[in-house]
Amino acid sequence: MKLRIEHITTFTYDLPISEAYTEMRLAPIDLGGQRRTSFRLRTEPGGEVTRYPDRYGNEVHYFDVLQPHQQLRVIASSEVHTSEKFVDEQFELSPLDQFDYLTPTLYTPEHELIHQLAEASVVVGNKIATTYSLMTAVHQAIQYERGATSVKTTAEEALQIGKGVCQDYAHVMLACCRLSGLPARYVSGYLYSPNAPEMASHAWVDVFVTDYGWRSLDPTHNCFQDERYVRVATGRDYNDVPPTRGMYKGNAKEKMEVHVKVEA
């Protein structure tokens, strides 16, 4: 499937600020059956954009705007070709990857609620079946509701609330997989969903199963990654792959608005 993505981020300040330093993870990857044919990132006011890989191999774009300003717009435009399923030929994990993707994080801590959900979902002797069971259990444990959580909500908090968005579903599944001995990583990206455009920015999970490699599952929709999904970055949790992160000089209050459009 050929998809076009426009991601516009607008930062507005109540007072002039300067020396804004920003990094963004918005570029779709070329991997796993996904091919990026174009990507462009521009800023208003203009700033010199450079790029580099982070520790997980994700493409990071960095820019700075040194002059005083009260609004900053970042426009990222992409075109990608996706495939029916995610394909990854990595069948072994390094010791570092094993450690990273099995260790609890601030977003995916060990907690009694996580233990209960994970233990009830394990299919003894069948790791593939366990991944599917965990996905369904997480999907059923949380009701999708925007505004019920924030970007700082942990997996245990989302389970306690019983409501959340894609980030929360992903964190709960990550925590359950890791407690079950399954290395798992957070995936950020986009979803082509013409009937629900508010879900265009999306997050899901990769689970590593020995001899099978990475399996890409979406607990929000209780399904596998398919041609509607566009992968951007992977990490241990949201904190490794935020679409935007930065700092600036000044005492102004910041307001951020994001508009994402995915079209076929």
Q: Give a yes or no: residue 225 inside a domain.
A: yes
- Token pair of 176, please? 């359950």
Q: What is the pLDDT of residue 204?
A: 98
- Name the residue type at position 63: F
What average pLDDT does the chain have?
Answer: 95
pLDDT-based confidence at residue 47 (cuts at 50, 70, 90): confident
**pLDDT score of 216:** 96
206 occurs within a structural domain:
yes
Please indicate, yes or no, if residue 174 is contained in any of the structural domains: yes
220 contacts 202 by C-beta, under 8 angstroms: yes
Side-chain-facing half-sphere of 147: CA atoms under 13 Å: 1
Token reading at 220 = 């929000």
pLDDT, residue 19, reads: 94
**CA distance to 47, 53, 63, 121, 152, per residue, from 158 (Å):** 38, 31, 34, 18, 10
Domain total in the chain: 2
Entry pTM: 0.95
pLDDT in tens, 17-28: 999 999 999 999
For residue 63, what is the domain's CATH number?
2.60.40.2250
The domain in which residue 176 lies consists of 95-240
Q: Give the model's confidence band at 112: pLDDT under 50 very low, under 70 low, under 90 confident, else very high.
A: very high
In a domain, 88, yes or no: no
Instruction: Say which CATH number the domain at 185 has.
Output: 3.10.620.30
